[in-house]
Amino acid sequence: MATIVDIAVNTEGFSTLVAAVQAAGLVETLQTPGPFTVFAPNDDAFAKLPPGTVQTLVQNPPQLARILTFHVVAGKYTQAELLEMGQIDSIEGAPIPVRTGLNNTFEVKNATVLAADIEAENGIIHVLDNVILMG
């Protein structure tokens, strides 16, 4: 089975996330046994950020790493488990609210999960339609 990083690298729609993880120096971390739960914004999610934001973040690896680690949770949690908890702490340290939204959507902070429970060797991936930010 592929790792979280392998899945992101080999799946269309995650080139911005892969580039950001590389720029932030998080590839090795996300290839360890974990397990991790990753809330993975797709390319369209990054495209919704104000113009120049991604480029600015890539030039500021500590800030980029902080935002990316807000998308990662220690442990492997399915959609059902996350919804039962209602909130979970990211490895960045800030809590991430999780809820059922309108029309029974699975929501993580200000994002809707487009694909949930993608199994990886070292965890699980939930694909987001927005980049989530602390605060």
pLDDT tens for each residue of 29-59: 999 999 999 999 999 999 999 999 999 999 9
The CA–CA distances, whole Å, from 100 to 88, 103, 105 equal 14, 8, 6
Give me 49's structure tokens: 């950020």
The CATH number of residue 64's host domain is 2.30.180.10
Is residue 43 in some structural domain? yes
Is residue 133 in some structural domain? no
Is residue 99 in some structural domain? yes
Is residue 12 in some structural domain? yes
Residue 2: strand, helix, or coil:
coil
Is residue 104 in some structural domain? yes
Count Cβ atoms within 10 A of the Cβ of residue 31 and give its class: 0-12 exposed, 13-18 middle, 19 or more buried: middle
Name the domain count of the chain.
1
What is the model's pLDDT at position 78?
98
Prediction pTM value: 0.95
Buried b (16+ CB within 10 A) or exposed e, 55-67: eebbeeeeebbbb
Residue 18: strand, helix, or coil:
helix
Is residue 134 in some structural domain? no
What residues make up the domain containing 88? 4-128
Cα-atom radius of gyration of the chain, to the nearest Å?
14
Average pLDDT by stretches of 10, the chain with 135 residues: 96 96 95 97 97 93 96 98 96 96 91 97 98 91
What is the model's pLDDT at position 44?
98
